[in-house]
Structure 1
Amino acid sequence: MRSTSGLSDVMRLSSEEATRFCRRHVMPEVLWCALCRVADSIVESTFADQSVRRPALLEELRSYAASKAALLKPVVGSDVKIASECFYHFKQARRRAEASGRQHPAPGDLLLQLAEHVDPEIDGLLRQMGSSAQRLAQSCYQRLKTATPERVVAHPGAATTPAAQKSLLDTFAIDYTELARRNQIGPVIGRRKEILTVLQVLARKQKNNPVLVGDPGVGKTAIVEAVAIHSLQPTAPPTIRKKRLVELSIPQLLAGTRYRGDFEERLNGVLREAEQNPDVILFIDEIHTVIGAGATGGAMDAADIMKPALARGRLRLIGATTPEEYRKYIESDPALERRFHPIHVEEPTPEQTFEILQGLRESYEAHHNVIFLPEALEAAVQLTVQYIPDRRLPDKARDALDQAAAQARICTLSFNGEDAVESRIEIGRQHIAATIAAWKGIPVEQISESERERLKSLAERLRQRVRGQDHVVQAVAQAVQMARLGLSNPDRPNGVFLFAGPTGVGKTELARALAEQLFGDEGTLVRFDMSEYMEPHSVSRLVGAPPGYVGHDEGALLVDAVREQPFCIVLLDEIEKAHPNVMNVFLQVFDDGRLTDTKGRVADFRNAIIIMTSNLGAEEGADQDRGVFGLQPRPDAADQLSDSVEAAIREHFAPEFLGRLTGIHVFHALDKTTCREIVDKFIAKLQQQLEPHKVRLDLADDVYDLLLETGFSRQYGARPLQQAIDRLLRTEIARLLLDEPPLLEERILSVLRAENRLRLVWADAALSESDLTDTGKLTESERPE
């Protein structure tokens, strides 16, 4: 290690102490012994402040060092080396000195470093002397801070570095005016009204401190940057002409402050510089962070320190914060609030955002080496407004452009290599749509031009999955089409439907089909079983527990689900079982399309579809409409079922609940014709599952008759049909596949009826009736090779 005149005595004494203990390396306890012997005013004063007698401490340290010393042959001082741990302490002492503006470290710097990283045994020795390592470090720090450089450094000729005279504003602030002079701040489009208001407040004699209050992403910082750019213009008003606008970072002021008074000293120094220089205008982003900043151990926080300077008018300060944080922190302190003038920054309109993107277009094109087509700018505004309602313009539109360009450029370079470096990619609407689709987890077709075609055929595609309920499918499809085209109330969900009727008739299936057709995946179906919400306190599971109650830190199931996936189908199964307190929660959702949890977070339901299911009145209606043998309904069965269900619904639910629904749709009981279509659908799904096994089914007509005879039920709907197929067909196919070796080519498996059973036979095998077993298995001679 390179020696300095400041620590040369310590190193020499350390070598002597190490030799005394037969040590080849200088360890921390040896350095403590050397500091107890060195002649240095700071070290002597530090021990004297703590009433620690250095000779007595030296004897204790030597005893401790002797107990650790190895029985080695004594070495001369020149052979002693510094251990890596002590080398680190010397290095840190040098850094402390340089940070204080001194060229050479002093013994006091090393004492402070050792006291802050003391061994527990040495700290125990200090406590025996009536002090501690922590108190010793505090005393040493204060001595170093108040002493002159000539007194701290043993070398009298040491000079201070330029860092010693460096301004605190230069250290802890960012000069926006200098950035604007270097053209390192992008153009600011619009916001003329807000900029003029800021200038007017700065021109006041007292309380000339504007605070920009707006949601994240609306452009508060951009307004401050515009003021910095405007200050360099010859036409700028005298209040800001040639002024220096700097951003003060509270976290940076706090960084490195270990002891009480450090933060106050830094902040007061910054405020003094700003007051003494009338050309300085401070800017603090997230101004609410001054509340409580630095308030440790009974010290004053930054807000209390700044209040006198703000009231005198000699300090001009611009702040920025959000409405929630302004109300929570600034308004709660009237003495601080009256020193600020709030300026509300609203979200720009889509037209204003388009102009902002036009102004930023050139810089983004140069950065990504792309060309933004006009349709891309329009799509960035339009699609982000429609699909990202939880964020604000212009930030979300700018992010969409930036991400789309980055994604297109990276993909091009990945596939085309160096040849694509110089080529400029054209970014169009499809790139923006793909970016937003990836952000929100929705199919890109949904936010592209093809959605119109998808909406036109929505009813037909829903009928392919839900059979026998054409009246409900058509009504739901029309309501969804109207909402998706923007012709319904934009502040409500895209639809609020109540599906009623017997069990197993397709209520939940229609919800799944809507999720797949509208959002591309059944995973966008968010299902809540309302039988779990029969108690009044269960409402806290949906919106969270109130503050102070158990579970407040846990999430709110409904709010969290919709916040994470705003484009979804919310299925409230068996809604009639929910407690009235739970029902009241949904009134706000049905009417305003939003729900706030107990933490103040808002879930946006305007892009969701809410579907509730109920079996109210279905049993009474089923008793009335049973026909001959319960197979064919009476001619007026559907009307009687609808009347019975609607009467039960209006009796159970409150009028204010029913009045907020888009529609009440009663599902009819299934007849045999519809059940035959449902069997076809189930068999088609089974065929898809058999494709990996290279098996194709061929069912005889009487097989369908057996499945209908076994599984048809007007009371339970389609579920018994599925159970019959599982019992009679799926289990036999599974048994056959397990017994057979894997097929290399596709084969046809014929399904035949044998009284109340099904028989399975390969179509290309010459089999007779006697060759088939009762269970449908093949004999050994019939198995394919």
Structure 2
Amino acid sequence: MKIYSGKQKVGTLNKKIDLVVDFDDFFYYKSKRALITQLQRTIGIFLIITAVIFFVTYFLILIQLYDRILLLALIDGRFPAYELFPSLGTVIGLFGWYLLRDRNRFGERLEERNLLHLKKDIGDGEVKEIEIESFFSDNVSAYLEEGYKNHNEEFIFFLSKVLLAQPEIKEIIASRLPLDLKKLDKDLVIDTADLTFDNNFQECFLELFHAGMDVDAEYIDEYVMFVAFAKKYWKHALVSQYISPDSVNAVIAWIRNNQKIETFHRKWFWISKLKPTGAINRSYTSKATPTIDKYAIDYVQNVIDFGFVFSQGKDEIIQKILELLSKTTKPNVLISGEAGVGKTHLVKNIATLLVAEDVPIELYDMRMVVIDVNRILTQVTDINQLENIFSKMLDESATAGNCILVFENIEYVFEIREENRKEILNRLISYLEESNKPVIATANTALLKKIIKQNKSFSSLFENIDLIEPSKENAIQIVLEHVQLLEELNGVRVEEPAVRRVVDSANKIHSSKVMPDKAIELLEETLNYAKAHGLKFVDESVVDQMVSGKLGVNIGDINQKERKILNNLEDLLHKRIVGQNAAVESVAAALKRARTGLNRKDKPVASFLFFGPTGVGKTEIAKALAEVYFGHENKMVRVDMSEYSQDKSIEKLIGIENEEGEFQGGFLTDAVKNNPFTIVLFDEIEKASPKVLDLFLQILDEGEITDGAGKKVDFTQAIIIMTSNAGGKQIASSLAAGRAYREVVKEAYYNLQNDFRIELLNRFDKIIMFKPLNLTEIHQIIEKFLTKINENLSEQGVLIEWNKDTVDELSKLGFGPVYGARQLYRVVQEKINDEVASLIAEEKVKKGQTIHFKGLQISDIV
């Protein structure tokens, strides 16, 4: 076994900072400190018990000998020695409590082993070398030392077993990760068999350090160790149980966030002992605010009463807002964002920091008073009262001196009728300009433009903070914050992978809404679904079941019904499509790829360009796929590109803002927002404006499009089919002249570049030339039409029969080189369907009879 001593370099950070381990310090000081810590804890427990004994003894003596003690004090002025017991008990108890302190938290307060401070120093260029062992907690150091001393051959396995046995890690697994520990143990025996001390000791140090830096930990404890091992050493074991490293990271981040909230609780507990209750500040310099108390909501009191709110991923924006609110002049902040993006949640985050006084000193002791115009209107009988109430609230805030006013949905002020709005706005602008008291306003992004247009001077009084949608991982953290309350309300437990699936699914089915609101809404629906079905446990499959039922499309694992459809998809399509084998095979293969997870996630499910002569089945294949897979041929979005021949017509597809600043949605974007799991058929794209065609580049390349309001619309769940008659006549004439099919296809592909930009053509998954239909295929199509008529007539107990002449004559009337088979259906309707309908209407045919056609004439009814 290799012996480690002295200071050794084990790696680098950012290619310029040496990462070293002082093994002498680690093995001597660390191990000694662990022993000392254990000894101190033992002594601490003993001292606490001793202190309790002192107090109990004192009170027992006091109860029994009270009269005698009082007599001694009055006569001799003396007190017995046991009168010192309370003082001794207090001193001993406090020292015992100190010995039992959380050393890692204590060390962090003294700015020892704090990775967050280290990150800042690295950013400032002040660090040349890092002794990484100094950032390890005592427990982690003890685990590593034990592994070094006694478990050479099974070093990583030993550490894994020790880690998984820790109470905090067991709690994570029990609450959020669906891990079978027995299976994990068996898998780790195999996966870590070769991970001995000699080839993993230094690497283990590095993995732990990098994991601590990645997850923004303060020091490297069991949680960081869990993240590091899951990523490096347990990857295959976790994958076998469908747990990703991202899920592990998310649960650890959620635990960290809860710990931070607990820290805020502790701070508030001690701060609250020094403050008066109610709205008065601790210096008793603030004034009463009766109108505010009646009509507004105090978010500071709200988070105290109903729970602290704090989310990861918003640190920078929160710090920016706190800096602006701390300004001595015009400390006014306008938070804009889409409805549901989390503006109120962000304000409550700040309220939580105010409660814990984790804010600049200028904001200590401040209330956060929320003024909601709509809420006030529900409490008054006359809108004219609103002006008076509003004015009083501003006056009270100005004189109280300890209020941060919050105007949620400030746009509502601009929707009050004009005679009242003008006075209220003037009063508010005066307050913003003169009071120099902190103000927060929130507004919907779309409506904010309208506000600026109406009153530019008003918006200039604020510093605007644009709140964008959180990233996927931050959205998961926000949803996890809501999980515990929803679990208690519904009596259902939720795993982290289920939360991850909720976020992914919300992006797919609610593209018109924003995160995190749409994910929280979907989570609530899922838990209601689980409760209604008597489930006590929500995993990914439950989310898939709920969403599939909502959409009418299976989005989870392939079930038996869908597997049968996929396995027979080509045959099912050929029930409607005659010939065109290449197109049918390509569509079937694309759908199978998508449902087995082999397609690219950032593009549409599949994208096709079907070109060739008219009337040969290009549009029909889209209808057939919609019927077979989605249940009905109408379950698709059909766009007739002849209606978009002008550049300006792009507005009809993606929407546009009108003169009043209101957004009018586009036909295409609205249709896909409402039904993202669909087929989008762009018919005859050669008739569209080149500018419109350029719009499709983004859909095909990125799986999304930007609508007229600047919002992204997701197309990654859609199948894109574009059709074109380009080159149709030449293709038909070339094949009719006897040229080889392969030669005609090659020439046709080349000629397409004359009709469409190469950038567009290169983005399709498949470009398929449709060939003209031959006579045999025309006859097959007619046979299908006639069979369909019989299916419809069966409800009335009537049938038709036909002969070869019937099919021949219908084909002559309905098929031609110009329109292909497009007229066939109309001809069959006129010559067969209409005749049969007349017979039924005139009661010339009875139930159970058959109508016989010879050619197009009815020969008999029997």
Please indicate, yes or no, whether the TM-score normalized by the shorter chain is above 0.5: yes
CA distance in 1, matches of 2:651, 2:314: 46
Aligned partner of 2:719 among 609, 626, 629: 609
2:305 aligned partner: 182
Aligned partner of 1:618 among 721, 724, 728: 728
Pair 1:733–1:500, CA change in 2 (3 A): same
Contact 2:334/2:441 (CA < 8 Å) preserved in 1? yes
What do the CA deviations read for 1:708-736 (whole angstroms, capped 9, x no partner)? Answer: 67766566443455456445644554455
1:217 aligned partner: 340
1:144 aligned partner: none
Pair 1:483–1:445, CA change in 2 (3 A): closer
**Local SS of the residue matching 2:513:** coil
**Local SS of the residue matching 1:445:** coil
2:401 aligned partner: 278
By how many angstroms is 1:512 displaced?
A: 1.1
Matched, 1:776 2:854: no
1:171 aligned partner: 294
Aligned partner of 1:578 among 683, 688, 699: 688
- In structure 1, runs of 5+ residues without a counterpart are 1-164, 413-422, 628-633, 759-774
2:821 aligned partner: 718
What do the CA deviations read for 1:302-333 (whole angstroms, capped 9, x no partner)? Answer: 3x534454456751222323444556646997
Pair 1:247–1:191, CA change in 2 (3 A): farther
Contact 2:398/2:435 (CA < 8 Å) preserved in 1? no
By how many angstroms is 1:346 displaced?
A: 3.9
Pair 1:740–1:364, CA change in 2 (3 A): farther
Aligned partner of 1:445 among 514, 531, 554: 554
What do the CA deviations read for 1:457-478 (whole angstroms, capped 9, x no partner)? Answer: 5445434432211112223444
CA distance in 2, matches of 1:698, 1:403: 53
Pair 1:187–1:687, CA change in 2 (3 A): farther
2:792 aligned partner: 689
CA distance in 1, matches of 2:357, 2:736: 90
Alignment of 1:462-541 (within 5 A): 462-479=573-590, 492-534=603-645, 538-541=649-652
Pair 1:697–1:241, CA change in 2 (3 A): farther
Would you say how many aligned residue pairs link Structure 1 and Structure 2? 570
Aligned partner of 1:381 among 503, 509, 534: 503
2:672 aligned partner: 562
Contact 1:542/1:558 (CA < 8 Å) preserved in 2? yes
1:31 aligned partner: none
For structure 1, which segment, 400-409 or 289-298, has the greater mean C-alpha deviation from structure 2 after superposition? 289-298
2:349 aligned partner: 226
Aligned partner of 1:666 among 769, 772, 791: 769
CA distance in 2, matches of 1:553, 1:358: 33
Alignment of 1:94-109 (within 5 A): none
1:396 aligned partner: 518
Contact 1:264/1:294 (CA < 8 Å) preserved in 2? no
CA distance in 2, matches of 1:644, 1:358: 57
Q: CA RMSD in A?
A: 4.3
Contact 2:578/2:781 (CA < 8 Å) preserved in 1? yes
Instruction: Select the structure that is richer in helix.
Output: 2
**Local SS of the residue matching 2:419:** coil
Pair 1:643–1:697, CA change in 2 (3 A): same
What do the CA deviations read for 1:202-247 (whole angstroms, capped 9, x no partner)? Answer: 4444444444343332322122223334444487775555532221
Pair 1:604–1:353, CA change in 2 (3 A): closer
By how many angstroms is 1:511 displaced?
A: 1.5
CA distance in 1, matches of 2:771, 2:505: 39
Matched, 1:248 2:351: no
CA distance in 2, matches of 1:489, 1:389: 19
**Local SS of the residue matching 2:514:** coil
For structure 1, which segment, 395-404 or 266-275, has the greater mean C-alpha deviation from structure 2 after superposition? 266-275
What do the CA deviations read for 1:615-642 (whole angstroms, capped 9, x no partner)? Answer: 2222233233326xxxxxx3x3534543
What do the CA deviations read for 1:141-181 (whole angstroms, capped 9, x no partner)? Answer: xxxxxxxxxxxxxxxxxxxxxxxx98120232112233333
By how many angstroms is 1:398 displaced?
A: 1.2
Contact 1:384/1:436 (CA < 8 Å) preserved in 2? no
What do the CA deviations read for 1:339-368 (whole angstroms, capped 9, x no partner)? Answer: 544444443333333343333223223333
Matched, 1:267 2:390: yes
What do the CA deviations read for 1:627-666 (whole angstroms, capped 9, x no partner)? Answer: 6xxxxxx3x3534543564455322334444344444321
Structure index of larger Rg: 1
Aligned partner of 1:406 among 503, 521, 528: 528
What do the CA deviations read for 1:764-785 (whole angstroms, capped 9, x no partner)? Answer: xxxxxxxxxxx3233xxx6xxx
Alignment of 1:745-756 (within 5 A): 747=848, 749=850, 754=854, 756=855
CA distance in 1, matches of 2:325, 2:649: 53
Matched, 1:347 2:459: no
What do the CA deviations read for 1:72-98 (whole angstroms, capped 9, x no partner)? Answer: xxxxxxxxxxxxxxxxxxxxxxxxxxx
- In structure 2, runs of 5+ residues without a counterpart are 1-287
Q: Which amino acid aligns with 2:577?
A: V
2:74 aligned partner: none
Alignment of 1:725-740 (within 5 A): 725-726=828-829, 729-731=832-834, 733-735=836-838, 737-738=840-841, 739=843
**Local SS of the residue matching 1:367:** helix
**Local SS of the residue matching 1:296:** helix
CA distance in 2, matches of 1:401, 1:585: 34
Pair 1:548–1:245, CA change in 2 (3 A): closer
Contact 1:191/1:223 (CA < 8 Å) preserved in 2? no
By how many angstroms is 1:667 displaced?
A: 0.1
CA distance in 1, matches of 2:585, 2:300: 63
Pair 1:321–1:545, CA change in 2 (3 A): closer
By how many angstroms is 1:508 displaced?
A: 0.6
CA distance in 2, matches of 1:258, 1:187: 36
Contact 2:832/2:856 (CA < 8 Å) preserved in 1? no
CA distance in 2, matches of 1:437, 1:680: 36
Contact 1:390/1:604 (CA < 8 Å) preserved in 2? no
Pair 1:620–1:476, CA change in 2 (3 A): same
2:754 aligned partner: 651
**Local SS of the residue matching 2:859:** coil
The TM-score with structure 1 as length reference comes to 0.62
Contact 2:337/2:467 (CA < 8 Å) preserved in 1? yes
Contact 1:264/1:300 (CA < 8 Å) preserved in 2? yes
By how many angstroms is 1:291 displaced?
A: 5.8
CA distance in 2, matches of 1:485, 1:321: 43
Pair 1:195–1:166, CA change in 2 (3 A): closer
Contact 1:491/1:606 (CA < 8 Å) preserved in 2? yes
The TM-score with structure 2 as length reference comes to 0.57
2:35 aligned partner: none
Contact 2:406/2:440 (CA < 8 Å) preserved in 1? yes
CA distance in 1, matches of 2:359, 2:535: 39
1:133 aligned partner: none
Alignment of 1:313-352 (within 5 A): 314-326=436-448, 329=451, 339-352=461-474
By how many angstroms is 1:591 displaced?
A: 4.8
